[in-house]
C-alpha cells in the first residue's frame, strides 16, 4: 500500500525554471524517510517514490540525499557560561556527523554575529567554533541570532536550508521589533530547529514562544533539554533526521502551481514525511 503524506507547500517564485533538455519544468520535494524502527532510510531510488499534485501523478526524475546548507547558532550569552563547553562540544560533534554539507556558524550573545560562512572550509569552521568563548556579561538574543541566520541563508538563494539554534537562556533579550526579526526567518524558507536548555521550562517556553511557533510552522523541531549534557543527544537525534531527508525532483507542466502536493513511498513499512516543495 502506498502511503501518501501531504507535503508542505513552500513560498515559491512566480516564474518556473525550465529544466535543461526537458519539455516541462521541474520541482523538488524535500521528504524525510524512515524504516519501521524510525531509523533513516537512505537506500532508496526514484522508483520507490510516488508524487501527486492534486489527483495528477508526476514523473520523478531523480532522488538524492538532501545536502542543503545549515547555519548553526550558538548562545554565547552570560547566562549559559557555565555550560558553554558542553554546548560547544556537542556542536562540534554535530558538524562532524552531517557530512560535507555547507555549514555556517553564528552566535546569539549580546550582539549576534556570523563567525563562519558557507564558503569556509570545514576545518576552518571547527577551528572558529573551538576558539569561541561565552561572554561575561550580556543577555542572549535568540530571535536576533535566528534572524541573522535567516538573512545569511536567504542571500544564497538555496532551495532548502536549516537554522539550528542552541539556547542556554531562560529569557530572550532580543531588542528589535518582533515582526522585523521574524521576517528574515520566514523569508529564508529555512527549517528552524531549536534546542533549548534551561531547568525552568515554564519561563523558558513563555519567553521563546515565537521561536517555538516558527519551528513548528517550518516543519522543524523545538526540543527542551534539562541539562547541558543533553545537547549532544538532542543534536544526534537531529543528525539522524537529517540523514533520512531526501531531495526528490519531479517533472511538472510549465506554469503549473504546486497545489495539494503529496509524496509517498512504495517500500513496505517505510514512513515518509513531506517537508517542502520548491522550483528547481
Closest by Cα among 9, 60, 7 to 245: 7
Give me the residue spans of the domains in the chain. Answer: 3-65+246-279, 70-241
Residue 184: which of 140, 144, 139 has the closest Cα? 144
User: Per mean pLDDT, which of 6-10, 49-53, 78-82 is the most reliable?
Assistant: 49-53
Report the alpha-carbon distance of residue 159 to residue 135 in Å, rounded: 35
In whole angstroms, what is the distance from residue 254 CA to residue 280 CA? 12
Does the domain formed by 70-241 have CATH 3.40.50.410? yes
- pTM assigned to the model: 0.86
* N residues, the chain: 280
Q: Which H or E run includes 234?
A: helix 231-243
Cβ atoms of 273 and 55 within 8 Å: the answer is no
User: What are 273's strand-pairing partners?
Assistant: 32
What residues form DSSP beta bridges with 4? 264
Euclidean distance between CA atoms 198 and 201, whole angstroms = 6
Per-residue H/E/C for 117-160: CCCCCHHHHHHHHHHCCCCCCCCCCHHHHHHHHHHHHHHHCCCC
Per-residue model confidence as pLDDT tens digits over 187-239: 999 999 999 987 554 444 445 788 999 999 999 999 999 999 999 999 999 99
Q: What is the C-alpha separation between 113 and 109, in angstroms, rounded?
A: 8
Predicted confidence (pLDDT) per residue in 17-69, tens digit: 333 333 459 999 999 999 998 899 888 999 999 999 999 999 999 999 999 99
Residue 21: per-residue pLDDT = 35
Quote the pLDDT of residue 79: 86
Other C-beta atoms closer than 10 Å to the C-beta of 35 total 15
Res. 280: pLDDT tops 90: no
Where is average pLDDT lowest: 117-131, 148-162, 206-220? Answer: 206-220
Amino acid at each position: 500500500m502506498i502511503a501518501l503524506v501531504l507535503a508542505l507547500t513552500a513560498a515559491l517564485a512566480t516564474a518556473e525554471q525550465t529544466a535543461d533538455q526537458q519539455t516541462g519544468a521541474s520541482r523538488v520535494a524535500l521528504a524525510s524517510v524512515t524504516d519501521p524502527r524510525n531509523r533513516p532510510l537512505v537506500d532508496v531510488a526514484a522508483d520507490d517514490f510516488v508524487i501527486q499534485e492534486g489527483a495528477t501523478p508526476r514523473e520523478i526524475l531523480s532522488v538524492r540525499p538532501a545536502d542543503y546548507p545549515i547555519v548553526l547558532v550558538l548562545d554565547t550569552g552570560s547566562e549559559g557560561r557555565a555550560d558553554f563547553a558542553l554546548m560547544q562540544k556537542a556542536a562540534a560533534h554535530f558538524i562532524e556527523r552531517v557530512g560535507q554539507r555547507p555549514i555556517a556558524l553564528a552566535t546569539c550573545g549580546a550582539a549576534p554575529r556570523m563567525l563562519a560562512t558557507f564558503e569556509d572550509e570545514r576545518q576552518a569552521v571547527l577551528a572558529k567554533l573551538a576558539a569561541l568563548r561565552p561572554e561575561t556579561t550580556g543577555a542572549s538574543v535568540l530571535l536576533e541570532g535566528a534572524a541573522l541566520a535567516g538573512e545569511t541563508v536567504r542571500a544564497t538563494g538555496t532551495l532548502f536550508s536549516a537554522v539550528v539554534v542552541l539556547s542556554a537562556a531562560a529569557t530572550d533579550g532580543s531588542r528589535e521589533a518582533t515582526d522585523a526579526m521574524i521576517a528574515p526567518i520566514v523569508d529564508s524558507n529555512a527549517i528552524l530547529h531549536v534546542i533549548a536548555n534551561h531547568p525552568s521550562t515554564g519561563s523558558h517556553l513563555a519567553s521563546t514562544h515565537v521561536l517555538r511557533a516558527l519551528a513548528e510552522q517550518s516543519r522543524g523541531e523545538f526540543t527542551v533539554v534539562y541539562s547541558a549534557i543533553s545537547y549532544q543527544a538532542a543534536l544526534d537525534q537531529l543528525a539522524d533526521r537529517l540523514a533520512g531527508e531526501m531531495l526528490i525532483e519531479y517533472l511538472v507542466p510549465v506554469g503549473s502551481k504546486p497545489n495539494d502536493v503529496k509524496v509517498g513511498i512504495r517500500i513496505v513499512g517505510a514512513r515518509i514525511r513531506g517537508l517542502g516543495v520548491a522550483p528547481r
